[in-house]
């Protein structure tokens, strides 16, 4: 089972910031939070990941709460091409490897 909880769907106006929340209350101390997105019929695209500190790259920003039980992915200026399913994952250590367990994610629709 996925170790994260996300809203099923969200929408956002083009040009505005999209803030996607994620709860991961059972995260352990050395586990990273990863964000991917998947556009229909394509493979998941890596967006960003973080451990404790907030992170920013050319695609997005990641805000992690101090207790690390939740995080928010921020797309600062959403475009129509950002319409996708966004997955927040905390990988599970199983059989000697970190296995990503994808839940249902958040379906983000960016509208004109």
Partner 1 sequence: KAGVTQTPRYLIKTRGQQVTLSCSPISGHRSVSWYQQTPGQGLQFLFEYFSETQRNKGNFPGRFSGRQFSNSRSEMNVSTLELGDSALYLCASSLGRRDRGFRPLSGNTIYFGEGSWLTVV
Q: Which residues of this chain interact with partner 1, rule CB under 8 A?
A: 30-32, 34, 36, 41-46, 49, 51, 91, 93-104
CB of 16 to partner 1, least distance (A): 28
Residues whose CB is less than 8 angstroms from the CB of residue 38 and which lie 6 or more positions away in sequence, other chains included: 44, 45, 84, 85, 87, 105
Whether the Cβ atoms of residue 49 and residue 57 lie closer than 8 Å to each other: no
The Cβ of residue 4 has, within 10 Å, a number of other Cβ atoms equal to 23
CB of 5 to partner 1, least distance (A): 15
When the beta carbons of 43 and 112 are compared against partner 1, the nearer one is 43
CB of 99 to partner 1, least distance (A): 5
């Amino acid at each position: 089972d996925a170790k994260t909880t996300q809203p099923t769907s969200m929408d956002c106006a083009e040009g505005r910031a999209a803030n996607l929340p994620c709860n991961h209350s059972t995260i352990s101390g050395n586990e990273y939070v990863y964000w991917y997105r998947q556009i229909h019929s394509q493979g998941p695209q890596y967006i960003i990941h973080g451990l404790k500190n907030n992170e920013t790259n050319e695609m997005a920003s990641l805000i992690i709460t101090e207790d690390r039980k939740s995080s928010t992915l921020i797309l600062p200026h959403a475009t129509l091409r950002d319409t996708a399913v966004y997955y927040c994952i905390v990988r599970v250590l199983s059989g000697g490897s970190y296995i990503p367990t994808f839940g249902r994610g958040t379906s983000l629709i960016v509208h004109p």
